Amino acid sequence: MAKIKRSFTVEISEARCRSCAVCWEICEPKVLGWKPPLNKAIIKDIEACTGCRLCEWLCPDWAIVVKPAALEPGGTRAEELSEAAS
């Protein structure tokens, strides 16, 4: 069976982010980065995201939300979530 690559969406709230650098340093695949001059977190390479959720769990200002991207059109959120959890 072909391996299906899971994809994820990462949303960062610019209003909440306080440039603490935790998320982009903790993210191993280097999905996240920062943008001068305020050095707020940005997404650099969403394709590399493994959905590990470390950035979401550790952002001290709760600025990041990670969600599984829809598997195919019409797939429900509940299905996605149970798949991601398994």
Partner 1 sequence: MSVQSEMPAIKPVKKKLDLQRPLDELVELYAEIPARQFRYCPGCGLGMAQSAIMRAFHRAGVDITKVATAGGSGCYSVMGHYFKSNHIHGSHGRGCAYAMGMKLARPELTVVTLQGDGDLLAIGGNHFIHAARRNIDITVICFNNYNFGDTGGQFAPTTPLGSKTDTSTLGMPEPAFDACKLAIGAGASFVARSTVAHPAHLTKMIADAIEWKGFAFVEVMQHCHVLWGRRNGMPEAMDMMRFYKDNSVLNTSSVPEDERFDIPIYSEDEKNVKFVLGVLNKEQKPEYTEEYAKLRAKAMAKVTGKAKS
Residue 31 binds which of partner 1, ligand SF4, none (CB < 5-8 A, kind-dependent): ligand SF4
71 binds ligand SF4 (CB under 6 A): no
Q: Which is nearer to partner 1, 48 or 81 (CB)?
A: 81
64 binds partner 1 (CB under 8 A): yes
Interacting residue with ligand SF4 among 7, 35, 45, 50 (CB under 6 A) = 50
DSSP conformation letters of the chain: -PPPPP-EEEEE-TTT----SHHHHH-TT--EEEETTTTEEEES-GGG-----HHHHH-TT--EEEEEPPSSTT--HHHHHHHHH-
Give contact residues for partner 1 (rule: CB under 8 A).
15-16, 18-22, 25-26, 53-54, 56-62, 64-67, 81, 84-85
